[in-house]
């Protein structure tokens, strides 16, 4: 991994040079961030590192630390390691595989940074604390031109980043196996979540996003995170959307299960899994992501027809927009240091923006596929009362098999999600490879 990181760092140096020359700046100061206190409280929210800091210095625990880069010299790390007997403070990773790439300075008090800052008015500040940046004399705070260059670069992953995302897959899949077993043992959503966290050795505070642990009709709530304490009287279905992190890089995996393995719902789960794998097999460099999303809608329309939910032809189900009421989210999104990673709509390093089309407002990527992109592929099929209600008084209402739809509401819905990297010859399924090799 050390060699991969060296290549990763060489790419970053070039990116920083490009950004600084574009904006006529002398350097970048990147602040890792600090935990934010709750209102009128001395407790803090869980710390989340600035992803631009983590991109360069792969330590997601480095709070109140700084990086300086000029695109030419060895980067400087100002690592905050206070002496504190109240809290367990992070220790400087001086022996880590990436440590030799940096010129080290240790801060025991945050105010020490003022002695290292020289001519901040000629540099850019990258971070979320605008008041701190202004107080320190920065004029260029998160300049858009700099962020455009960095965001676009981050959307195309280095082999180091891909290796980190792959390791995150392996961790997350341990949790998915434990959660699946807990479901079939009759555990509650709360207990299934505990099984997941224990297997992945994570806490609720350091998973990359809130785990979605949904039994039965709760699967119809796309971002369900409530976690019922008691198991339902009857188990029909289980949807788990949960990930893991490795050096700050995320896995984002979803699996759906039918409690009755020979039921029609189980067959529907299997068919959606197959469609996910089929679309992954078709991913190619140079093709726009919207085309794959549209293709999945056509296949969902075919499922609605074949399973007798809607008694129209698949073409009519698609053209009339009916499939959107059963599959309301996008096919997926870019993945990396952030679960919904940056630059899904950004078409180039200049920042040209291409929004999601009106018909698919939840689509999170409008890019042409490029070698090195890492994306989620997550088709879904749900029975959501709010979205289906519009069709009940519609002239096409009689074409819906409302009795069967009502029966399937007890299952909530299905989502199947893998993480892939785009290669020159197609997509490599990182989730499938991690599942195969353990």
pTM of the predicted structure, to 2 decimals: 0.97
Cα–Cα distance measured from residue 265 to residue 278, given in angstroms and rounded to the nearest whole number: 20
Are residues 340 and 204 part of one domain? yes
Boundary-marking domain end, from 155, 189, 205: 155
Are residues 110 and 247 part of one domain? no
Are residues 206 and 92 part of one domain? no
Both tokens of residue 192?
């299934």
Are residues 137 and 52 part of one domain? yes
Boundary-marking domain end, from 155, 174, 201: 155
Residue 353's DSSP bridge partners are: 346
Residue 155: what pLDDT? 98
Are residues 226 and 94 part of one domain? no
Are residues 338 and 242 part of one domain? yes
Boundary-marking domain end, from 106, 124, 155: 155
H helices of 155-219, in order, are 159-184, 189-200
Are residues 274 and 198 part of one domain? yes
Note down pLDDT in tens along the chain; length 438 residues: 899 999 999 999 999 999 999 999 999 999 999 999 999 998 999 999 999 999 999 999 999 999 999 999 999 999 999 988 888 888 899 999 999 999 999 999 999 999 999 889 999 999 999 999 999 999 999 999 999 999 999 999 999 999 999 999 999 999 999 999 999 999 999 999 999 999 999 999 999 999 999 999 999 999 999 999 999 999 999 999 999 999 999 999 999 999 999 999 999 999 999 999 999 999 999 999 999 999 999 999 999 999 999 999 999 999 999 999 999 999 999 999 999 999 999 999 999 999 999 999 999 999 999 999 999 999 999 999 999 999 999 999 999 999 999 999 999 999 999 999 999 999 999 999 999 986
Cα–Cα distance measured from residue 154 to residue 372, given in angstroms and rounded to the nearest whole number: 10
Burial of 395 (0-12, 13-18, 19+ CB in 10 A): exposed
User: Is 191 annotated as belonging to a binding site?
Assistant: no
Domain of 42, CATH number, reads: 3.40.350.10
Are residues 107 and 236 part of one domain? no
Are residues 420 and 388 part of one domain? yes
Count of structural domains within the chain: 2
User: Is 329 annotated as belonging to a binding site?
Assistant: no
Cα–Cα distance measured from residue 297 to residue 362, given in angstroms and rounded to the nearest whole number: 13
Domain of 290, CATH number, reads: 3.90.230.10
Are residues 135 and 203 part of one domain? no
User: Is 241 annotated as belonging to a binding site?
Assistant: yes
Give residue 76's domain range: 1-155
In angstroms, the Cα distances linking 130 to 78, 127, 140, 142, 295 are: 19, 8, 10, 9, 43
Are residues 404 and 298 part of one domain? yes
Are residues 118 and 232 part of one domain? no
């Amino acid at each position: 991994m050390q060699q991969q990181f060296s290549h990763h760092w060489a790419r970053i140096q070039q990116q920083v040079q490009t950004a600084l020359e574009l904006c006529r700046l002398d350097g970048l100061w990147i602040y890792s961030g600090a935990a934010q206190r709750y209102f009128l409280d001395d407790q803090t929210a869980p710390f989340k590192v600035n992803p631009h800091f983590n991109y360069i210095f792969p330590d997601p625990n480095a709070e109140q630390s700084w990086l300086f880069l000029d695109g030419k010299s060895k980067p400087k790390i100002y690592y905050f390691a206070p002496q504190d007997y109240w809290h367990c403070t992070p220790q400087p990773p001086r022996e880590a595989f990436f440590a030799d790439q940096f010129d080290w300075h240790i801060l025991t008090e945050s105010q020490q940074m003022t002695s290292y800052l020289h001519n901040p008015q000629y540099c850019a500040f990258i971070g979320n604390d605008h008041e701190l940046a202004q107080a320190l004399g920065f004029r260029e705070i998160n300049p858009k031109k700099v962020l455009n260059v960095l965001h676009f670069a981050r959307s195309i992953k280095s082999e180091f980043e891909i290796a980190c995302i792959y390791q995150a897959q392996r961790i997350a899949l341990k949790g998915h196996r434990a959660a699946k077993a807990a479901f079939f043992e009759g555990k509650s959503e709360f207990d299934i979540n505990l099984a997941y966290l224990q297997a992945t050795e994570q806490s609720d505070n350091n998973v990359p996003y809130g785990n979605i642990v949904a039994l039965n009709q709760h699967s119809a709530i796309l971002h369900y995170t409530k976690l019922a304490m008691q198991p339902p009287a009857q188990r029909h279905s289980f949807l788990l959307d949960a990930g893991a992190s490795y050096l700050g890089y995320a896995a984002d995996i979803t699996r759906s299960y039918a409690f009755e393995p020979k039921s029609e719902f189980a067959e529907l789960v299997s068919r959606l899994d197959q469609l996910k794998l089929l679309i992954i097999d078709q991913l190619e460099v140079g093709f726009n992501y919207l085309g794959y999303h549209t293709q999945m809608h056509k296949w969902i329309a075919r499922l609605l027809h074949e399973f007798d939910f809607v008694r129209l032809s698949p073409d009519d189900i698609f053209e009339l927009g009916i499939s959107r009421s059963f599959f309301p989210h996008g096919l997926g999104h870019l993945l990396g240091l952030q679960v919904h990673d940056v630059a899904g709509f950004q078409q180039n390093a200049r920042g040209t923006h291409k929004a999601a089309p009106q018909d698919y407002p939840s689509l999170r990527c409008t890019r042409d596929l490029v070698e090195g992109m890492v994306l989620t592929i997550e088709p879904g099929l749900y029975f959501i009362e709010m979205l289906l209600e519009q069709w009940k008084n519609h002239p096409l209402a009689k074409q819906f098999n409302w009795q069967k739809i009502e029966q399937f509401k007890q299952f909530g819905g299905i989502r199947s999600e893998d993480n892939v990297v785009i290669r020159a010859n197609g997509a490599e399924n990182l989730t499938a490879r991690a599942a195969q090799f353990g």
